[in-house]
């Protein structure tokens, strides 16, 4: 005796590692300082922001605007497609910390993330992500980067040059 079904046979689908490297603080009603950290893989802001917003859009509600400091981004797109809608991107050279990104949502408000330069080593990035998403005292994005540099001598991006003071 044999049985037949209309179900298609199972097939193997390769696991795809998420491309966004992100650490977020637990959601709470009181917001102070940074809400987490983001470590992009490159300085291609169009690709990197699309991947970030694709992840955050379902978590935080529809992302409508993103603001960056243009100091470390060679090209800044004006608009990005994200989950079936368009997100406007703006830049603020004086008003926004060069190591911070601001994301806005109509439904859930504003989030500030530390932007860890793509050139930073994995151990330094892990420390920075833990510090930005932890419960320690609130620090600005530049303060976190300066502290990492002072404590560990990790490479730090200054201007458009890459410096390393560690051995």
* pLDDT tens for the 167 residues of the chain, in order: 554 545 555 455 444 444 569 999 887 655 678 999 999 999 999 989 988 988 888 888 889 999 999 998 999 999 998 888 899 999 999 899 999 999 998 887 899 999 999 999 999 999 999 999 988 888 899 999 999 989 988 655 544 343 333 33
- Give domain limits for the chain: 33-163
Q: Which H or E run contains 104?
A: strand 100-105
* Model pTM score: 0.79
Size of the chain, expressed as the number of residues it contains: 167
How far is it, in rounded angstroms, from Cα 143 to Cα 160?
A: 19
Q: Phi/psi at 140 (nearest 5 deg)?
A: -75, 165
């Amino acid at each position: 005796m044999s049985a037949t079904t209309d179900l298609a046979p199972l097939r193997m689908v390769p696991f795809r590692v998420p491309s966004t490297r992100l650490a977020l603080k637990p959601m709470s009603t009181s917001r102070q300082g940074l809400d987490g950290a983001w470590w992009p893989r490159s300085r291609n802001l169009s690709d990197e922001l699309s991947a970030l917003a694709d992840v955050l859009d379902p978590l935080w509600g529809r992302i409508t605007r993103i603001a960056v400091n243009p100091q470390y981004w060679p090209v800044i797109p004006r608009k990005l497609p994200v989950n079936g809608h368009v997100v406007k991107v703006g830049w603020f050279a004086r008003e926004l910390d060069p190591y911070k990104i601001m994301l806005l949502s109509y439904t859930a408000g504003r989030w500030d993330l530390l932007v860890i330069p793509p050139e930073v080593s994995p151990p330094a990035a892990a420390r920075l992500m833990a510090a930005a998403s932890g419960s320690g005292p609130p620090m600005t994005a530049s303060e976190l980067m300066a502290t990492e540099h002072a404590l560990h001598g990790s490479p730090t991006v200054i201007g458009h040059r890459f410096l390393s003071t560690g051995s």
